[in-house]
A and B are shown apart, each in its own frame.
Chain A
């Protein structure tokens, strides 16, 4: 009985230490990926709860931070997957109808690029990943996507699952899925070009 109590104290101490050390990083990532304060708080709290329960499975071989991030990423994945599923069941037809309208932002009647929206040359892309201003622009552009598309991109890139498995899990057909990713990419690309590379 005493051992059990010790164990619990020990576990509590470890988690408290981790909260102190890692909650800033975990929170900033969760907020960046969801842009809702409360959602980010919930996800971080759930992460620590899961870690608390599964602490026996944590092997000291890996960094606690890496382990916590992998738990958090699973939760962010689930959050966007559910959001995507809910939103696409509420408004399946609305987006279909606007397909032609959407495409006409980019392509003319012959399906060629509209002159002013043709992709331009992007210069100096090498170091942009280390450029916080660029990442802020990308983030802004992600936020400007329709919510379902935003979620589709978010859960795609946060997991290492391949696209076939994701489709199976979501129960959607692969054509629908890549077309969503494609439309999102068209819009995202244009936004980044306008806001960052200038015209």
Chain B
């Protein structure tokens, strides 16, 4: 009996490497029930992977929303020459 329990536990255990893979897979695709369960189990025991998931989702959110924040940054101005050429193009 013990042996079987041990086998089942082993089957459900993920390494940190595999857990972080599933964390990112979950953000973009779906996990199977088994994968979901394995991940929950792993995170309940591993603070580093729990932190990894928070960070990965945080970065995901920033990358999705950054457009509204960045467009008025002064350092990336086009040259006046470029703008003048552009306007000329449409006048032809």
Interface residues, chain A, with chain B CB atoms under 8 Å away: 12, 15-16, 19-20, 23-29, 31-32, 40-41, 44-45, 48-49, 52, 69, 73, 103, 106-107, 110-113, 118-122, 125, 128-130, 132, 135, 138, 153, 156-157, 163-164, 174, 177-179, 181-182, 185-186, 188-189, 192-193
Contacting residue for B62 out of A29, A129, A132, A156, CB 8 A: A129
Q: How far is the CB of A97 from chain B (nearest CB, A)?
A: 18
Contact B29 A130 (CB under 8 A): no
A182 touching B25 in the complex, CB below 8 Å, given contacts A29-B71, A32-B73, A129-B62: yes
Question: Do A112 and B16 touch across chains, with their CB atoms under 8 A apart?
Answer: yes
Contact (A29, B25) CB under 8 Å given A24-B78, A128-B62, A189-B55: no
Chain A residues, Cβ within 8 Å of B77: 24, 27-28
How many angstroms between the C-alpha atoms of A112 and B23 in the bound complex?
A: 15
With A111-B15, A129-B66, A163-B28 already in contact, the answer to whether A31 and B20 are too (CB < 8 A) is no
Instruction: List, in ascending order, chain A residues with CB within 8 A of B55's CB.
Output: 119, 122, 189, 192-193
Q: Is the CB of B17 within 8 A of A106?
A: yes
Residues 29-82 of B at the A interface (beta carbon under 8 Å): 29, 48-49, 51-52, 54-56, 58-59, 61-67, 69-78, 82
The listed residue (B24, B70, B83) touching A19 by CB distance below 8 A is B83
Q: List 23 A-B contacts (CB under 8 A).
A: A15-B90, A16-B90, A19-B83, A19-B86, A20-B83, A20-B87, A28-B70, A28-B72, A28-B75, A28-B76, A32-B70, A40-B78, A41-B78, A48-B86, A48-B89, A110-B15, A119-B49, A119-B52, A121-B51, A135-B66, A135-B69, A181-B28, A188-B59
Cβ A113 vs Cβ B29 within 8 A: no
Inter-subunit contact B70/A113 (CB<8 Å): no
CB-defined contacts of A193 to chain B, threshold 8 Å: 55
B side interface size, CB within 8 A = 43
Other A-B contacts than A19-B83, A44-B78, A119-B51, 4 sampled, CB-CB below 8 A, are A45-B89, A178-B24, A188-B59, A189-B56
Q: Flag whether B7 is at the interface (Cβ < 8 A).
A: no
CA distance A103 to B82 in the complex (A): 44
A181 to B59, CA, bound (A): 12
Interface of B is mostly: helix
Q: Is the CB of A185 within 8 A of B56?
A: yes
Would you call A41 and B17 a contact (CB within 8 A)? no
Q: Which of B16, B63, B73, B90 contacts A52 (CB 8 A)?
A: B90
Report whether A23 and B54 are in contact in the complex, using a CB–CB cutoff of 8 Å: no
**Once bound together, how far apart are the Cα atoms of A23 and B76, in whole Å?**
11
Is there an interface contact between A113 and B48, defined as CB atoms closer than 8 Å? Answer: yes
